[in-house]
């Protein structure tokens, strides 16, 4: 369309043609320019709308704030068997809450009426696994029960994904996996269940990780799948495990299928596979600043406390867990300058006193009190963390005090934990040796960190209270470190 008015003056044929051609050219150029401007404007609007749509897509559900994950949001799938369940049910009873928890213990055959009814009101329901005989298993030296254990994922999701109550996470473990439910829920709160997450930890043994996968969540320590991932995984699980008849365990099959969906491991050091034998003191007293989530293979380890059975020792540890779960095993280090003592408090478990000065980095190295799962030498005895020597002479080791009891003051909320010295028949200087201390009292308040502190945890500090080392009792207070405070032997 031409925007200029026509000129009605008459022209001769010789003058009209060039003028007409020029005007037509101008009209055409203006039309092209107008079309070009219109096209640019349309493209800009379209790009803005597209950008809005993309931004809306990526900032939809996962960017919306959500409430903390609670135990009620978690469904458990526990792998067991007719043979193992009677011996391990008491461990599950320690942490299971029938009022708030959902899940199932999967066994290979129905339990007898007596086994199924004894204390059943304190335990998860029993579910008989589906038949897996149609699946191939070709792993030499393995056990085809691994297929049944792997399919706990599929069967648990099918059972609960239509639940009227919200399911955020599916968590899987063995019948000898001991969970700390409060710590599990708080750890999972760091993650958005509406995104795809596969969470857990590897083995403590280098060789196990080399064989099975450094990026695999080992099943004994526990595996957490966000509900959004688990629902998709369940749909393709059977077809996926058909491709992996040569794998050894159930956790290897879960790992392989999660990888096929493009999801890698989110490592959480609070999950403990414990591919170890012997005394677990060293690894427990050097625990991560992340919350303790699970313990595995307790029956293969020495009792956690002296003069106890394995079960009663774990039960004793849970007396501290009940009062302050997020602080359990959290390590604080402080110093007594008068004697150059280094004192480390693994809350709810032990206090250890080294009769020498040690830097924090050396305290945190794991005392090698334990043995590898299989003592074949070579890589089988190489660990995935730094270790330090555990002196074979008990009189040259740090003086260890084990937790006796924990109590809470109802008025101000102060928690008092008391630790008694583990007796060793050693000679010592009654003036300067930490062996003169018989009891240590530790005062703290309930640890309840915000999510951002769980994402970026900081070790807490401790102080030896004035005049408390005069005599046979030492008193220690645990507190948050000051902003610019260093943990070292101050002059």
Helix H, strand E, coil C: the string for the chain is CCCCCCCCCCCCHHHHHHHHHHHHHHHHHHHHHHHHHHHHHHHHHHHHHHHHHHHHHHCCHHHCCCCCCCHHHEEEEEECCCCCHHHHHHHHHHHCCCCCCEEEEEECCCCCHHHHHCCHHHCCCEEECCCCCCCCCCCCCCCCHHHHHHCHHHHHHHHHCCCCCCCCEEEEEECCCEECHHHHHHHHCCCCCCCCCEEECCCCEHHHHHHHCCCCCCCCCCEEEEHHHHHHHHHHHHHHHCCCCCCCCHHHHHHHHHHHCCCCEEECCCCCCCCEEECCHHHHCCCCCCCCCEECCHHHECCCCCCCCHHHHHHHHHHHHHHCHHHCCCEEEEEECCCCEEEEEECCCEEEEECCCCCHHHHCCEECCEEECCCCCHHHHCECCCEECCCCCHHHCCEEEEEEEEEECCCCCEEEEEEEECCCCCCCCCCCCHHHCCEEEEEEECCCCCHHHHHCCCCCEEEECCCCCCCCEEEEEEECCCCCCCCCCCC
Joined together, the tokens standing for residue 354 give 């080294």
Q: What ranges do the domains of the chain cover? A: 71-277, 327-479
Tell me the average pLDDT of the chain: 88
| pLDDT, mean of residues 354-369 | 96
| pLDDT, mean of residues 372-377 | 76
CA–CA distances in Å: residue 475 to residues 278, 335, 423: 31, 13, 19
**102, 75 contact by CB (below 8 A):** yes
| pLDDT, mean of residues 325-350 | 96
How far is it, in rounded angstroms, from Cα 465 to Cα 228?
50
**Within 10 A of 381 (CB to CB), how many other CB atoms are there?**
16
Residue of 469 and 79 predicted with greater confidence:
79
40-54 in b/e burial notation, b at 16+ Cβ within 10 A? eeeeeeeeeeeeeee
CA atoms within 13 A on the CB side of 242: 6
- Spatial CA neighbour of 454 closest among 216, 238, 189, 251: 189
**74, 104 contact by CB (below 8 A):** no
Model confidence at 318, pLDDT cuts 50, 70, 90, reads very high
| pLDDT, mean of residues 335-364 | 96
Q: Which pLDDT does position 13 carry in this prediction?
A: 42
Least confidently predicted of 55-59, 329-333, 358-362? 55-59
Give just the sign of the alpha carbon dihedral 280, 285, 289, 292: positive
**134, 42 contact by CB (below 8 A):** no
Q: Which pLDDT does position 3 carry in this prediction?
A: 40
pLDDT of 237 above 70: yes
Q: Which pLDDT does position 468 carry in this prediction?
A: 61
How far is it, in rounded angstroms, from Cα 468 to Cα 443?
13
**179, 272 contact by CB (below 8 A):** no
How far is it, in rounded angstroms, from Cα 326 to Cα 235?
36
| pLDDT, mean of residues 275-294 | 96
Model confidence at 60, pLDDT cuts 50, 70, 90, reads very low
**331, 285 contact by CB (below 8 A):** yes
Question: At the topology level of CATH, where does 71-277 sit?
Answer: Spore Coat Polysaccharide Biosynthesis Protein SpsA; Chain A (3.90.550)
**252, 212 contact by CB (below 8 A):** yes
How far is it, in rounded angstroms, from Cα 491 to Cα 488?
9
Model confidence at 471, pLDDT cuts 50, 70, 90, reads confident
- Spatial CA neighbour of 364 closest among 346, 348, 379: 346
Model confidence at 354, pLDDT cuts 50, 70, 90, reads very high
pTM, to two decimals: 0.85
Least confidently predicted of 81-85, 338-342, 463-467? 463-467
Q: Which pLDDT does position 14 carry in this prediction?
A: 43
Q: Which pLDDT does position 58 carry in this prediction?
A: 39
Least confidently predicted of 53-57, 114-118, 203-207? 53-57
Joined together, the tokens standing for residue 304 give 């956690």
| pLDDT, mean of residues 456-474 | 85
Any idea which residue has 């299989």 for tokens? 374
Any idea which residue has 């062996």 for tokens? 435
Q: Which pLDDT does position 54 carry in this prediction?
A: 40
How far is it, in rounded angstroms, from Cα 289 to Cα 296?
19
Q: Which pLDDT does position 15 carry in this prediction?
A: 43
Q: Which pLDDT does position 21 carry in this prediction?
A: 58
**71, 181 contact by CB (below 8 A):** yes
Q: Which pLDDT does position 421 carry in this prediction?
A: 96
Q: What is the pLDDT of residues 138-189, one digit of tens each?
A: 999 999 999 999 999 999 999 999 888 999 999 999 999 999 999 999 999 9
**Radius of gyration, CA atoms only, the chain:** 32
Q: Which pLDDT does position 6 carry in this prediction?
A: 42
pLDDT of 135 above 70: yes
Least confidently predicted of 98-102, 113-117, 425-429? 113-117
pLDDT of 8 above 70: no
pLDDT of 34 above 70: no
Query: What burial class does residue 430 get, using C-beta atoms within 10 Å of its C-beta: 0-12 exposed, 13-18 middle, 19+ buried?
Result: exposed
Q: Which pLDDT does position 41 carry in this prediction?
A: 55
């Amino acid at each position: 369309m031409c925007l200029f008015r026509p000129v009605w003056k008459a022209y001769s044929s010789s003058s009209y043609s060039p003028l007409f051609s020029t005007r037509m050219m101008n009209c055409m150029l203006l039309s092209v320019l107008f079309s070009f401007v219109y096209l640019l404007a349309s493209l800009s609007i379209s790009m803005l709308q597209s950008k809005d749509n993309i931004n809306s897509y990526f900032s939809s559900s996962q960017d919306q704030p959500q409430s903390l994950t609670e135990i009620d949001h978690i469904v458990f799938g526990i792998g067991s068997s007719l043979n193992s369940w009677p011996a391990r049910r008491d461990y599950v009873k320690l942490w299971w809450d029938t009022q708030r928890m959902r899940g199932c213990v999967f066994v290979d055959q129905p339990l007898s009426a007596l086994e199924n009814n004894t204390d059943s009101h304190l335990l998860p329901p029993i579910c008989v696994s589906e038949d897996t005989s149609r699946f191939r298993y070709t792993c030499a030296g393995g056990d085809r029960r691994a297929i049944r254990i792997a399919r706990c994922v599929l069967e648990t999701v099918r059972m609960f994904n239509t639940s009227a109550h919200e399911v955020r996470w599916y968590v899987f473990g063995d019948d000898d996996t001991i969970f700390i439910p409060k710590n599990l829920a708080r750890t999972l709160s760091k993650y958005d269940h509406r995104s795809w997450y596969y969470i857990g930890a590897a083995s403590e043994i280098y060789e196990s990780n080399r064989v099975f996968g450094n990026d695999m969540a080992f099943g004994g320590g526990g595996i957490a799948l966000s509900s959004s991932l688990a629902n998709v995984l369940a749909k393709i699980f059977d077809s996926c495990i058909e491709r992996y008849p040569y794998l050894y365990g159930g956790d290897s099959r879960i790992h392989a299928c999660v990888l096929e969906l493009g999801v890698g491991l989110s490592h959480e050091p609070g999950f403990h596979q414990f591919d170890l034998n012997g005394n677990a003191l060293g690894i427990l007293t050097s625990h991560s600043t992340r919350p303790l989530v699970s313990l595995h293979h307790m029956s293969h380890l020495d009792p956690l406390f002296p003069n106890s059975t394995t079960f009663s020792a774990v039960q004793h540890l849970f007396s501290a867990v009940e009062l302050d779960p997020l602080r359990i095993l959290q390590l604080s280090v402080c110093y007594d300058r008068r004697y150059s003592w280094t004192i480390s408090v693994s809350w709810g478990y032990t206090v250890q006193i080294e009769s020498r000065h040690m830097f924090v980095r050396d305290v945190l190295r794991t005392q090698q009190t334990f043995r590898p799962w299989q003592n074949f030498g070579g890589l089988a005895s190489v660990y995935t963390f730094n270790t330090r020597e555990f002196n074979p002479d008990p009189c040259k080791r740090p003086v260890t005090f084990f937790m006796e009891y924990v109590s809470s003051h109802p008025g101000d909320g102060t928690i008092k934990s008391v630790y008694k010295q583990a007796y060793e028949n050693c000679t010592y200087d009654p003036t300067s040796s930490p062996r003169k201390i018989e009891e240590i009292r530790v005062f703290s308040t309930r640890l309840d960190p915000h999510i951002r502190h769980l994402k970026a945890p900081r070790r807490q500090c401790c102080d030896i209270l004035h005049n408390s080392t005069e005599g046979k009792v030492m008193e220690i207070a645990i507190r948050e470190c000051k902003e610019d405070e260093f943990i070292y032997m101050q002059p």
